[in-house]
């Protein structure tokens, strides 16, 4: 009986430490995503999204809200960086409900774009078409 309890404890501790490694690893995998967005590197973003999806079974909308680049979301960063290809790709990959939902500052993408006067940006056009 004591062996079973000890074995269970060892397995529990091992699985918890593995989970910590997995979380740190996903943070490492997503660490340079802001740089990719700012550089408008659509191919590298696709590769990053594929690797995160295959390794962790996460899609863009699963980790989108947890990433900020200088206080802005990924799509906002793409708009400010004039990263049109990357921005339109993210708009196409995100669910419509997430695109219409308020972000951390309480403003939707559409309201933020109107507030900043960025309606001429092609990413805004893609957003309007998607909605």
* Residue range 40-49, pLDDT digits in tens: 888 888 888 8
pLDDT band for 21, please (50, 70, 90 cuts).
very low
Report the pLDDT value the prediction gives residue 12, as an integer from 0 to 100: 45
Distance CA 42, CA 119 (A): 22
What average pLDDT does range 3-23 have in this prediction? 46
How many CB atoms neighbour CB 45 within 10 A? 23
With b for 16 or more beta-carbon neighbours within 10 A and e for fewer, the 64-73 pattern comes to: beebebeebb
Q: What is the pLDDT of residues 71-83, one digit of tens each?
A: 888 888 888 888 8
More confident residue, 4 or 39: 39
**CB 55, CB 29: distance < 8 Å:** yes
């Amino acid at each position: 009986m004591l062996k079973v309890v000890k074995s269970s404890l060892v397995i529990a501790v091992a699985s918890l430490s593995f989970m910590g490694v997995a979380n740190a690893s996903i943070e490492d995998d997503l660490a340079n995503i802001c740089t990719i967005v700012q550089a408008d590197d659509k191919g590298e973003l696709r590769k990053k999204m594929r690797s995160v999806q295959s390794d962790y079974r996460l899609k863009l909308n699963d980790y989108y809200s947890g990433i900020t680049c200088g206080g802005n979301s990924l799509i906002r960063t793409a708009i400010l960086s004039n990263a049109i290809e990357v921005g339109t790709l993210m708009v196409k990959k995100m669910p419509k409900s997430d695109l219409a939902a308020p972000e951390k500052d309480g403003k939707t993408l559409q309201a933020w774009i109107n507030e900043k006067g960025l309606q001429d940006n092609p990413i805004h056009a893609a957003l309007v078409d998607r909605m």
